[in-house]
Homo-oligomer: A and B are copies of this chain.
Amino acid sequence: MEIIETIDGMRKAIAKAKSTGKKIGLVPTMGALHAGHISLVKAAKKETDFAVVSIFVNPTQFGPTEDIDKYPRPFEADRKACKDSGVDIVFAPTVKEMYPQQNITWVNVEKLSEPLCGKTRPIHFRGVATVCTKLFNIVQPDIAFFGQKDAQQTVVIKQMVADLNMPLKIVVCPTVREKDGLAMSSRNKYLNAEQRKDAPLLYAALQEAEVFIGAGERKSSFLKEQMKKLLSISSRTEIDYISIADAKTLEEIDEIKGKILIAMAVKLGPARLIDNIVLDVE
């Protein structure tokens, strides 16, 4: 496994792999790899011939009051996890390498970047779309792999790829969960023991909504109320949002019908956790 820190080095390695007819898979990450990331690597290994994992804590997707400084960067463990799962190249550029000059070019996916997490993180998805464009242009993958846990991100990136005719396919892999249901996230490390005990409430609330819908409930407002009540079992949870939206347009819906996304962001101590499920309802 090669570790490459420069864009030029990456371009050369990719040109070499492509010249032998290899299909390139990219897993873009911010490091602090967990089983969710590894499931993306496995998908890349299965569907392509050459797996690239990028590790880059992208400053342009963090707001001024967010956690970029304390975001975990366990590079040695990440390197080992990549090696153990058969990654071909880890692309780990510095901030200076990715943004050598003040960045003034932004890729912005309007509408889809604004609701849900976009409300409290107004520049987040512009930063995500821009850095993914950069990574796609550097690595030139045939397929890029994203996790369903970041539901809004997957919708934004798919729309961007379609609107800008980017020459790659996006594959979204299922959320990987701890045994108690908590979605894997690098930010779970922020939780202390008490907070960690409460964290499965997010998925429990999503499952509760699914059960109600299965039983015939179709009113979003009722479902949101039930989820709120369940989350408030813990006095430590602070709800950022609970959304029930069209899974493609991310517009809130009043009546449950069609392909819907139920998503939430909940603060638990120092961590802001997100989770979601997608349902197809007749």
Contacts and interface: CB of A to CB of B under 8 A. Distances in A.
A138 interface: yes
B166 A137 contact: yes
Interface stretch (A101-109, A191-199, A238-246): A101-109
Given A104-B159, A105-B159, A159-B105, A137 B164 contact: yes
A interface, over-half SS? mixed
B104 A111 contact: yes
Given A104-B112, A107-B107, A138-B167, 11 more contacts: A11-B167, A101-B163, A104-B159, A105-B107, A105-B108, A105-B129, A105-B160, A106-B107, A137-B166, A138-B165, A140-B167
A104 B163 contact: yes
Nearest to A105: B163
Interface in A77-122: 101, 103-112
A105 B137 contact: no
| Interface residues on chain A, size class | 20 to 34
Nearest to A138: B165
Contacts of A48: none
A164 to B, nearest CB: 5
Interface in A138-185: 138, 140, 159-160, 162-167
A229 interface: no
A133 B160 CA distance: 11
A134 interface: yes
Contacts of A11: 167
Contact of A164 (B107, B108, B111, B165): B107
A7 interface: yes
A140 to B, nearest CB: 7
A164 B110 contact: no
22 contacts: A7-B165, A11-B167, A101-B162, A101-B163, A103-B163, A104-B109, A104-B163, A105-B110, A105-B129, A105-B160, A105-B163, A105-B164, A106-B107, A106-B110, A130-B164, A134-B164, A134-B165, A137-B164, A137-B165, A137-B166, A137-B167, A140-B167
